[in-house]
Homo-oligomer: A and B are copies of this chain.
Amino acid sequence: MTDKNNNQHRVVIIGGGFGGLYAAKELGNANIKLTLIDRRNFHLFQPLLYQVATGGLSPGDIASPLRAVLNKQKNTKVYKSEVIDIDTKSKEVVLRYRTIPYDTLIVASGSIHHYFGNEDWAVYAPGLKTIEDALEFRKRIFFAFECAEKIKDISEQKSWMTFVVIGGGPTGVELAGALGELANTTLTKDFRNIDTTKTKVILLEATDRILPTYPEKLSYDAQQSLEKLGVTVQTNSFVTKINENFVTFKTGDLSQNINAKTVLWAAGVRASRMGRVLNKRTKVEIDNIGRVIVEKDLTIKNHPEIFVIGDLANFSHQTGRPLPGVAPVAMQQGKYAAMLIKNRIKSKESKSFIYRDKGSLAVIGRNSAVASIGRFRFTGFFAWLIWLFIHIRYLIEYDNKVLVLTQWAWNYFTRKRGARLITGTDYLEILKKEEDEINSNLKSG
């Protein structure tokens, strides 16, 4: 099955996220044989996943079929499959029923969410990494408002109208902002029995400020913006228990309960399984969340033919701390790895990888964002415009995604969220659950 008809250099990329895709695009004009492997058939624009979760965008708006994105690259094959193992001796990627040989391998399989040893929390507080996760969020959020509308018992109703977002990184902040906006603008006229402006959105962050990887001033601005949208921000708050009715968290020695039916997880991530595979096969070091310690050129120790990039990589050569797991890092690393491979083919030297931080951005509801670009910090509408501009710039590289921005702008000006559908093949069960909730409440209430 291996292609040995000629001696072209074979590059295999595992993962079609920002890292893998940018590497693939950069290699599109190289005289190599390129195979991109992903278990999904699309690239996902993860920074906008929270918009799907809150009904602002549809899944199709933020996903591009990998085949379509890469179909102009004659040297590229897309292979939809799960990777089982990497045989670093024979230089083959092991799939379930075949292997794919490589001369150079780029591993960019990203990260998954993780509950620090409390994996049973996943049921009550799902995480946000995939399209399916986002639809689960959307279902839970709008299901909660439907329940609140029907229920008579005031304390139960409050519990349905309380949303806890755990984790004050960019995803948690943007999600909490979108929820605040949903409750205070989008939905205000839609219900008859509840006043959605009474919705409580609580953002819990374990460290002393939200957006801890951003400049301090921005954290402060973001918190202010969130509070304007009715979000309660609780820092230094460490979650100790989650179940279907409440969240318990500790602030110092003080333990508190929040009665909430909807809890959304935006806290920890850990590296994907490929980190452990590489560790086992090559003895490369991995850190406490499974990221692979990479060299200055993003390859791994003793294996110059293996690159690890994006969320899976721990690159600490620049600041002494690992670079954050965000899209710009993955993109730049993808491009760097591709450039280095092209240099090698031409027997050219390459410099070490350096991440150029073009700024940090978070969008907090309509009309407000926080941005830090070089020495400058922006907030409010101007930051929002910058946010929009940067996203337009990246999105238009794929497919028809300029339309997403039209949709987004439309939502912005009309304050509407047209995609707030409760869907799923289990929709009749959802309905049954909803009615059972209310019935048990009627009996006890």
Using a CB–CB cutoff of 8 Å, the interface residues on chain A facing chain B are 39-42, 55, 57-61, 63-65, 67-68, 71-72, 77, 79-82, 95-97, 131-132, 136, 142, 146, 150, 187, 189-192, 399-401, 403, 406-407, 410-411, 414, 416, 418-425, 427-428, 431-432, 434-435, 438-439, 442
Contact = CB atoms under 8 A, between A and B. Distances in A.
Contact of A421 (B79, B97, B131): B131
A422 B41 contact: yes
A190 B42 CA distance: 12
Contact of A442 (B97, B418, B432): B97
Contact of A96 (B192, B421, B439): B439
Contacts of A81: 431, 435
Number of copies of this protein chain within its complex: 2
Contacts of A403: 403, 406-407, 410
A96 B411 contact: no
A123 to B, nearest CB: 14
Contacts of A419: 58-60, 63
Nearest to A192: B77
8 contacts: A59-B59, A60-B421, A68-B190, A82-B428, A82-B435, A95-B435, A97-B438, A424-B425
Contacts of A435: 81-82, 95-97
Given A403-B406, A438-B97, A421 B190 contact: no
Contacts of A60: 55, 57-58, 61, 418-419, 421
Given A39-B428, A431-B80, A418 B68 contact: yes
A185 to B, nearest CB: 12
Contacts of A431: 39, 80-82
A84 to B, nearest CB: 10
Contacts of A136: 425
Contacts of A40: 421-422, 427
B42 A421 contact: yes
B63 A421 contact: yes
A356 to B, nearest CB: 30
Given A58-B58, A61-B58, A72 B131 contact: no
Contact of A132 (B71, B82, B420, B425): B425
A42 B417 CA distance: 12
Contacts of A401: 418
Contacts of A80: 146, 150, 431, 434
Contact of A97 (B42, B59, B187, B439): B439
A4 B68 CA distance: 59
A189 B421 contact: no
A180 B133 CA distance: 33
A150 B414 CA distance: 46
Contacts of A442: 97
Nearest to A147: B80
Contacts of A425: 132, 136, 424
